[in-house]
Amino acid sequence: MRAIKEATYKNMSVEQRVIASMEAIARGDKNEKSRLEQTCPKFHYTMTDYRYCGKINALRDMALAVEHDIRGCILAFFDTALFYEREPRLTSFKSLIMRMELLPEHAEDILGIRKAWHDFLRAEGIDSAVAEIVFADMRDHITAQFIRIAERLDLEPHPYTTQLFSKRFRDYYDDV
């Protein structure tokens, strides 16, 4: 453990404190991380009602998590379909098409995540089409393409995925 003198804690810049905290976390030094937090200068602020801005920020975080998790489904499809074994299964275009049989499983998860997200938004009185516009800057074109493919497959959202994500969304949002 790197010892920091008491006076140093008071004089640390924000950047130095962030670096020291990251190093303490990386070492697993909870005492040092706690000490850095406790000695951090305290300020009083006037700000917009946190019940409002916290919810707005939470919605943005959740939209980013939706994008992330859908990308995870897409990567899982490619991992399972193409790279699971030591020797890649992809030896020709035909072999790629033959591996497409795995797409519905991953598409159902994509649909489950979207259903949970849209159900959550609806429960909060937010139109999912409005949310799509607001958070469009997060949507990657490949993710959008896979969503369109998943929607065209005429599959049902995976119920477990929908249930899991519904709970995650509710727990996160209610905790703000």
pLDDT in tens, 19-34: 999 999 999 999 999 9
17 and 72 housed in the same domain: no
pTM of the model: 0.76
Helix or strand run (H / E) with residue 55? helix 50-78
pLDDT at 99: 61
146 and 69 housed in the same domain: yes
Q: Is there a contact between 73 and 109 (Cβ–Cβ < 8 Å)?
A: yes
pLDDT at 149: 87
Calpha distance 107→143 (Å, rounded): 11
Average pLDDT, whole number, for the chain?
Answer: 88
91 and 159 housed in the same domain: yes
Q: Is residue 16 part of a domain?
A: yes
Name residues whose C-beta falls within 8 Å of residue 22's C-beta, 6 or more positions apart in sequence.
Answer: none
pLDDT at 29: 95
pLDDT in tens, 104-150: 888 999 999 999 999 999 999 999 999 999 999 999 999 999 899 88
Calpha distance 91→131 (Å, rounded): 41
Residue-range definition of the domain harbouring residue 112: 50-174
Q: Is there a contact between 113 and 161 (Cβ–Cβ < 8 Å)?
A: yes
141 and 62 housed in the same domain: yes
Q: How many independent structural domains does the chain possess? A: 2
